[in-house]
Structure 1
C-alpha cells in the first residue's frame, strides 16, 4: 500500500463511524481491507448510480435497516462505486462479477453473496447471516 492510499484510508476510517448509521459510506481504497484485517463484519455493495437493480437492492436494504437497528450496530455498510472501483484490487480479490453484487464478510471470510438479486427475503437472509456472525 502506498503512502497516499494509507493516508486516505486512515482519514476515511476516522470519519466513517459517524457515517455508518443508515447512510451510504463510500469505499476508498484500503477502507474495506483495513476492516477485514480488524475482523469487522461488513456488507460490500458493488453499486452504480445508473443501475436499476442496484437501486432496487438499495431500497430493500434501507427498509430492512430502518426496521432493524441491530443491523447498523453489527454490520458496516460500504458502497463500492462500480464505475470507479469495479476493476480495482478489491473487486478482483473478491472475484466480483458485476455491479449489483452484495457480499457480506466476517473479516476476510465471505459469509454470503447475492448477485443481481432484489428479493426482500434473500437480502434479509444475507443481512441476518452478517448479524449472526457479528454476534458470535
Structure 2
C-alpha cells in the first residue's frame, strides 16, 4: 500500500467504532411510553447539538458502549432534542433541570438514576451499570 493511500484512509478508519454503535432512538411524543410498555429499560438523554457538555457525555457513552456491548443490547437510548422539548410536558414530568441530563428508567417506570451535566467516565458508567442491572433482572 502506498503511504499516501494509507494516510488517506486513516480518517475513515477512525469512524469505524462510531459506525458500529447502534443509533439512539430520536424522541417524539409517545416514544418513551412505547418502549416502557414493551418492557424495556431506557436511558433518556436530553441533548442539544450545540452543547459542549452534551457532546462530551456522548463521547463517554460511545466509549462505554464500545467497551461493553451489553449496554446497547439491554438498554434503549432515547435522545430528546432540548431545543424542541426542553420546556415540554416530558421535561416537566421528569423534572429535567437542563440539557445534558441523562435519566435511566426501568420498565416499571421508576427512575433508576440520573446524571446532570457530568462528563465523568465513572459517573456515567455507574448510571449505565445501574440501568444494565435492572435490564438484566
Moved over 4 A (4+): none
Corresponding residue for residue 85 of structure 2: 85
How many residues are aligned here?
116
Q: Cα distance, 1:65 vs. partner?
A: 0.5
1:50-69 alignment, distance < 5 Å: 50-69=50-69
CA RMSD of aligned residues (A): 1.0
Corresponding residue for residue 76 of structure 1: 76
Who wins on radius of gyration, i.e. which is larger? 2
Once residues 32 and 75 of structure 2 are traced to their aligned partners in structure 1, the CA distance between those partners, rounded to angstroms, is: 12
Unpaired stretches in structure 1, ≥5 consecutive residues: 1-20
Once residues 58 and 39 of structure 1 are traced to their aligned partners in structure 2, the CA distance between those partners, rounded to angstroms, is: 25
Q: Cα distance, 1:71 vs. partner?
A: 0.5
Q: Cα distance, 1:126 vs. partner?
A: 0.4
Q: Cα distance, 1:35 vs. partner?
A: 1.7
Once residues 25 and 34 of structure 1 are traced to their aligned partners in structure 2, the CA distance between those partners, rounded to angstroms, is: 12
Q: Cα distance, 1:59 vs. partner?
A: 0.3
